Amino acid sequence: MAAPDVVDVFVYTVVLALAVEFFPQVLSESFVLTLLTAVLLKLVLELVVWVKAALLRRIRTAASLWRRVISIATLILVLPGSKFVVLELTALVFGGSVRLGGFFLVTALIIVLMLARGGVRRLLRAT
């Protein structure tokens, strides 16, 4: 794991801990579970970002209209589908010990995670 990945996990841990503190729908029974959830989110979000980038490349380089339409449709399915993957994978791995709320709360959580990650990375690059 590279240094930026470790920083991402720590940022995700802080954001998750704050979500647990301020939103009753978000639950983590211990700090260790919050940390492990941050690692899980890091892995899933990296995969989603990779898939999204690959689909965007396919859209830009599509040789035919049908290939472009299929790539756009796949991208439209991946974006909300990734939130369900996060919810289901969290439930599968941690059972009832960790809950991230529903679809809209996990969507907001992921947006905040990505914004915090970008902000911290930008801050670290400036120093």
Q: Render pLDDT for 89-101 as a digit per residue (tens, 0 to 9).
A: 999 999 989 999 8
Compute the CA torsion angle 68, 70, 75, 81 (nearest 10 deg).
Answer: 180
Give the three-state DSSP class for 101.
Answer: coil
CA distance 23 to 19: 5
50 pLDDT band, cuts 50/70/90, is very high
Contacts of 100 (CB under 8 A, 6+ apart): 19, 26, 37, 86, 87, 90, 106, 109
Residue ranges covered by each domain of the chain: 3-122
pTM summary value = 0.86
